[in-house]
């Protein structure tokens, strides 16, 4: 098992049994999550924004419009935080206090840099598209020079990061197990439903497998 | 329609057509989302952490362990950001560039304060439990004095906030509509699955309606 070295900032002090620094597990969570939340600071105010990410090896890539002021800030090397959370279930305990959620989350801290090498930029954009819909990149028109110019790509190393996980049934106080209320887990899953063709799609064009498959 | 007054910090400069300041819409999104991501800054480093929230009127409540260092910081009045994101679909365009996601998100900026009034604390905790599973609070053991002491509740006013939404099919370049690739939307929904009883649950205890209903 390859471990990520915990730092003071990524060490979980509370509920350390929920923490993990297993790199393979961290990568699986990042790969399964369809989007992340990026935190960055401007004039002492934190901002948290949802965006798509992709992992390639030990790097995390984000992208956005070249005109985005926040992404420009992020790419200038200020500290950022990227968090992904996959909600797996609601945990219903016998007391209010022990109610919880089952989840898998990853927190990555670090300083992003803008990617300027054109090959790396293209590879990152392909990774982002194919992360969400594997195989999609090769089926559609690639980016034009103008579109590439309008897109900023930033890279964050997966160097300072931690995983937090909760699984399983509620953990009740021993005295509460005799209470007459239901207790257990309600599993949650983000499901893909039947694809809705673009109103302007030619009827002869069939839905590709990657748009119908469950996840 | 009641509007939230946009500030410089909550004004969307890019894609302003996706922005809204409709308070009723903002409240619906906060109420539907099962959890949020909270951003706060410690030593110039932003941290983004998933947590459960609840709205009561024009206030947003968060809670956590009294031992949580980050929540203690948050309750001391530093600026925080609370973001919720509901992912509604993947948007497959005919070009890489116009791929997108359909979503509804809310960003709330402000300074949280700790709730110390016991009645407000209890009401907030009830709102948090019933936000996720309506009616659950009344079925289970309420918090003891010790549990209340171990719980911190913070409040953030819904005063400086914005909504961002994307819906509908891809918007392709006019030249690309003739390309022979499939285009459209893949709807996504967070589904609740069959409840899993706690292994220690007495078989005579039936599953309550709120644990079986879809959402």
User: What single-letter DSSP state applies at residue B132?
Assistant: H
Record the tokens describing residue A182, joined without a space: 């239901």
What does the pLDDT average to over A52-78? 93
Closest chain B residue to A149, measured at CA: B97
Q: Please choose, from the candidates B53, B89, B215, B107, the residue with its C-alpha nearest in 3D space to the C-alpha of residue A34.
A: B89
In the predicted structure, residue B215 carries a pLDDT above the cut 60: no
Q: Which of A34, A96, A186 sits opposite B143 (nearest CB)?
A: A96
Chain A contact set for B67 (CB, 8 A): 14
| A80/B144 CB distance under 8 A | no
Name the percent of chain A lying above pLDDT 90: 89
Chain A contact set for B179 (CB, 8 A): 140-141
Sign of the Cα torsion A11, A16, A19, A23 reads: positive
| A105/B132 CB distance under 8 A | no
| B46/A13 CB distance under 8 A | no
Chain B contact set for A129 (CB, 8 A): 96, 99
Chain B contact set for A189 (CB, 8 A): 190-191, 193
Characterise A40 by phi-psi region: left (phi > 0), alpha (psi -120 to 50), beta (else). beta
Chain A contact set for B147 (CB, 8 A): 95-97
Q: How far is B41 from chain A (nearest CA, A)?
A: 7
| A97/B176 CB distance under 8 A | no
CB B75, CB B114: distance < 8 Å: yes
Give me the pLDDT at residue B98, please: 97
Residue among A7, A41, A46 with most chain B CBs within 10 A, to mutate? A46
For residue range B99-124, list pLDDT tens digits in order. 999 999 999 999 999 999 999 999 99
What does the pLDDT average to over A184-194? 97
Residue among B37, B48, B132 with most chain A CBs within 10 A, to mutate? B48
Give the integer Cα–Cα distance in Å for B10 and B107.
8
Residue B153 exposed, middle or buried by CB count within 10 Å (0-12, 13-18, 19+) = buried
Q: Which of A125, A184, A195 sits opposite B96 (nearest CB)?
A: A125
CB B188, CB A192: distance < 8 Å: yes
- Tell me the pLDDT band of B12, cut-offs 50, 70 and 90: confident
CB A85, CB A108: distance < 8 Å: no
| B140/A96 CB distance under 8 A | yes
| B177/A200 CB distance under 8 A | yes
Give me the pLDDT at residue A193, please: 95
- For residue B203, CA distances in Å to A180, A181, A183, B200, B207 come to 11, 11, 11, 9, 10
Q: Which of A105, A136, A208 sits opposite B50 (nearest CB)?
A: A105
User: Would you call B49 helix, strand, or coil by DSSP?
Assistant: strand
| A85/B37 CB distance under 8 A | yes
What does the pLDDT average to over B23-29? 97
CB A186, CB B211: distance < 8 Å: yes
| B41/A46 CB distance under 8 A | yes
What does the pLDDT average to over B54-80? 93
What CATH superfamily is the domain B8-212?
Electron Transport, Fmn-binding Protein; Chain A (2.30.110.10)
Structural domain boundaries in chain B: 8-212
What CATH superfamily is the domain A9-212?
Electron Transport, Fmn-binding Protein; Chain A (2.30.110.10)
Measured in whole angstroms, how far is the alpha carbon of residue A160 from the centre of its chain? Answer: 16
Residue B130 exposed, middle or buried by CB count within 10 Å (0-12, 13-18, 19+) = middle
CB B152, CB A150: distance < 8 Å: no
In the predicted structure, residue A209 carries a pLDDT above the cut 50: yes
Q: Which of A47, A184, A192 sits opposite B39 (nearest CB)?
A: A47
Chain A contact set for B203 (CB, 8 A): none
Question: What rounded mean pLDDT belongs to chain A?
Answer: 95
Give the integer Cα–Cα distance in Å for B181 and B88.
22
Chain A contact set for B192 (CB, 8 A): 90, 186-188
The model carries a pTM of 0.96
User: What single-letter DSSP state applies at residue A2?
Assistant: -
Name the percent of chain B lying above pLDDT 90: 89
Give me the pLDDT at residue A94, please: 98
A38-71 burial: b if 16+ Cβ within 10 Å, else e: bbbbeeebbbbbbbbbbbeeebbbbbbeeebebb
Q: Which of B45, B172, B192 sits opposite A79 (nearest CB)?
A: B45
In the predicted structure, residue B214 carries a pLDDT above the cut 70: no
User: Would you call A95 helix, strand, or coil by DSSP?
Assistant: strand
Q: How far is A22 from chain B (nearest CA, A)?
A: 19
A126-139 burial: b if 16+ Cβ within 10 Å, else e: bbbbebbbeebbeb
What does the pLDDT average to over B79-89? 98
What does the pLDDT average to over B10-39? 94
For residue range A123-138, list pLDDT tens digits in order. 999 999 999 999 999 9
For residue range B148-202, list pLDDT tens digits in order. 999 999 999 999 999 999 999 999 999 999 999 999 999 999 999 999 999 999 9
Give me the pLDDT at residue A213, please: 67
What does the pLDDT average to over B38-51? 96
Chain B contact set for A181 (CB, 8 A): 139-140, 205
H helix or E strand, kind and range, residue B69 = helix B69-75
Give me the pLDDT at residue B213, please: 67
Closest chain A residue to B213, measured at CA: A186
Give me the pLDDT at residue A27, please: 97
Give me the pLDDT at residue B4, please: 93
Task: Please state the ipTM of this predicted complex.
Answer: 0.95
Give me the pLDDT at residue B153, please: 97
């Amino acid at each position: 098992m390859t471990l990520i070295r915990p730092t003071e900032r990524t060490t979980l002090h509370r509920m350390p049994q929920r923490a993990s620094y297993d790199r393979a597990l961290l990568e699986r969570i990042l790969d399964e999550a369809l989007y992340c939340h990026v935190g960055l600071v401007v004039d002492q105010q934190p901002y948290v924004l949802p965006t798509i990410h992709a992992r390639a090896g030990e790097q995390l890539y984000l992208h956005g419009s070249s005109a985005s002021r926040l992404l420009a800030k992020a790419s200038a090397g200020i500290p950022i935080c990227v968090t992904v959370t996959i909600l797996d279930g609601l945990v219903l305990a016998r007391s209010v206090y022990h109610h919880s959620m089952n989840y898998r989350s990853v927190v990555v801290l670090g300083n992003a840099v803008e990617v300027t090498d054109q090959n790396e930029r293209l590879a990152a954009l392909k990774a982002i598209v194919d992360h969400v819909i594997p195989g999609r990149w090769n089926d559609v028109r690639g980016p034009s020079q103008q579109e590439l110019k309008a897109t900023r790509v930033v890279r964050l190393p997966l160097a300072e990061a931690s995983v937090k996980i909760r699984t399983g049934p509620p953990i009740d106080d021993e005295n509460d197990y005799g209470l007459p209320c239901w207790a257990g887990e309600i599993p949650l899953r983000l499901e893909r439903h039947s694809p809705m063709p673009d109103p302007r799609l030619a009827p002869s064009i069939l839905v590709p497998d990657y748009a119908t498959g469950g996840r």
